[in-house]
Structure 1
Amino acid sequence: MSGRYPFLFSIPHGGVSVPPEVRGLVNLSRKEIVFNSDPHTRLLYGFDDAVEALVDFEVSRIFVDTNRAPYEYPPRAQDGVIKVITQDGTPVYRKGLAPGRDLIGTLLQKYYFPFHNRLADVIDTRHVEVAFDCHSMLPKAPPVRMDAGRPRPLFCLSNRGDRFGKPLRKGGLVTCPPEWLSALARSFQAEFDGEGRVAMNDPFRGGFITVAHHQRTRTPWIQIEINRDLYETEEYIDTGSHKVDEARIAELRGRILSAVAGFWEEVSG
């Protein structure tokens, strides 16, 4: 392992690029594309030299969302693997130019499935004892959600369970042991003591990635969501360019790794 932690870090929403197949069809500005992605997560969770494996994704989630099931596309779903609206309800594509079945198939084959194949290959061939699917979240729930306007915690850690990390029903699925999720929450709370609340499965319970890849091999998976208020306030970001303070990102990256390392020291001992 060469001193690396036996972790896989998945960063599915950090990319901001536009697939060439949809250029000219898009209704969004560059700023809107970045905002509707998970900007800066590739830096926040970029532990390439400290963990066994890291898999990220270049394309913006607004065009191909790898954390959705491959059958969740329009007209069945508007906020699925291929989206037609943003978090605030803005159309992704110009009128009459939303992808049809053939283009959706191309996007899935060229971008979606290769990402999932990379995750599967890492799990199958590398020493991975726990995997983390890493995201950011807006400070308040956006208009398209049922809890629109509700303030979010500092971190949300998810295993598909309840707010204690336990299965929602007897025999129900959780993607990692409840004790592990609680240990990770304690470690994050200690690292960010006094700065905000660390929640479990609230407001997110984990997405397609954690469930699909846990079910395939039973490798423990945990979803991590960081509140963008930690680095996107006026103090740390240029609202025009969306460029974030590099020192702040580096500080947060170090503290996140410290929290995850503390968790591993507890559960692997």
Structure 2
Amino acid sequence: MHDPYPFLVTVPHGGLLVPGEIADMLALGPADLARLSDPATGLLYDFGGRVAARLEARISRVAVDVNRPPYHLPPLHPDGAIKSRTPDRRAVYRGGGFPPIEVVHGLMLRHYFPFHEAVDRLLDENGVRCAFDCHSMEPFGPPLAKDAGRRRPLVCLGNHGDANGEPRRGRLATCPPRWMRILATHFQAAFPEGEVAVNRPFPGGFTSMAHYWHRGIPWVQIELNRGLYESPDGAVDGEAVAELRERCRSVLAAFWEDTGSGEPGRTA
């Protein structure tokens, strides 16, 4: 068997668990939590022993969103690490408020910070040379999104740069532009039926930027279109998930065959 690729795969938004201390406070039910998650991404990005390290958040992003800055808290940040509103502005908690501050602190200490501590540990202990923060996205931009009503690509790759993966003025790019172009080329070959976009509609989130800043190891945010495996009523096609997982695994393997001899962060 091939040695594991020196990758860390993080899956921050596939979880559905709700911490007991807020379960009775939520205004949302299980169907809402599933819709607001990245459905089946725990399976979609489960490459087993073929990657050096993997970390999956089990807690629902509605309860604790590990892909937000730790200081993004209600009431100033309703869609932050602890949320008071959903992306479509629905109240997360009964009465339209948010948990008491001591509950918020407890959620952060028990779920948020341990996730990021684990990311640092996995990066340090497993010889990771490239990390992937893995998500799924709705087929069309939802009503209040910046791309509202627009058809989304099949794949979006984000490094916080521009449409070519180049750094934007005043911003860091979390993966070398050359690597982004190579990765996009391999994804396009694997997904010829649709578009592969770079930094559109999602350039990347907190996790990739924060940990690139800390360690200098390249990070890419991957978004797969939910329409590839999910019906309009939210039913997940397990066979499609398995097939997509194999496509993604093959893409990452081909990407590393093309880039692995170069040092992380080096551009052509």
Q: TM-score, normalised by structure 2?
A: 0.94
Instruction: Look up the match of 1:161.
Output: 161
Q: Output the CA distance in 1 between the equivalents of 2:67 and 2:225.
A: 18
Letter in 1 for 2:175: C
Q: Output the CA distance in 1 between the equivalents of 2:144 and 2:18.
A: 23
**Alpha-carbon distance, 1:233 to partner:** 2.3
Contact 2:133 2:222 in 1 (8 A): yes
Secondary structure of the 2:53 match is strand
Pairing of 1:1-269 with structure 2 (within 5 A): 3-95=3-95, 98-169=98-169, 172-193=171-192, 195-233=193-231, 239=233, 242-269=234-261
Q: Output the CA distance in 1 between the equivalents of 2:85 and 2:171.
A: 32
Distance 1:161 1:96, change over 3 A: closer
Aligned length: 261
**Alpha-carbon distance, 1:49 to partner:** 1.7
Q: Percent identity?
A: 48
Q: Output the CA distance in 1 between the equivalents of 2:229 and 2:130.
A: 27
Gaps of 5+ in 1: none
Secondary structure of the 1:8 match is strand
Q: Output the CA distance in 2 between the equivalents of 1:112 and 1:256.
A: 27
Instruction: Look up the match of 2:266.
Output: none
Q: Output the CA distance in 2 between the equivalents of 1:84 and 1:143.
A: 19
Q: Output the CA distance in 2 between the equivalents of 1:97 and 1:163.
A: 38
Secondary structure of the 1:248 match is helix
Distance 1:89 1:25, change over 3 A: same
Q: Output the CA distance in 1 between the equivalents of 2:147 and 2:81.
A: 21
Q: Output the CA distance in 2 between the equivalents of 1:249 and 1:145.
A: 26
RMSD: 1.5
Q: Output the CA distance in 2 between the equivalents of 1:226 and 1:86.
A: 21
Secondary structure of the 2:220 match is strand
Residue range with higher mean Cα deviation, 86-95 or 152-161: 86-95
Contact 1:6 1:128 in 2 (8 A): yes
Gaps of 5+ in 2: 262-268
Letter in 2 for 1:34: A
Contact 2:74 2:98 in 1 (8 A): no
Secondary structure of the 2:49 match is coil
Secondary structure of the 2:140 match is coil
Distance 1:143 1:100, change over 3 A: farther
Distance 1:150 1:100, change over 3 A: farther
**Alpha-carbon distance, 1:243 to partner:** 4.7
Q: Output the CA distance in 2 between the equivalents of 1:4 and 1:96.
A: 47
**Alpha-carbon distance, 1:267 to partner:** 1.1
**Alpha-carbon distance, 1:85 to partner:** 1.4
Q: Output the CA distance in 1 between the equivalents of 2:37 and 2:239.
A: 21
Q: Deviations over 1:111-143 (max 9, x none)?
A: 000000110000111111100000000111122
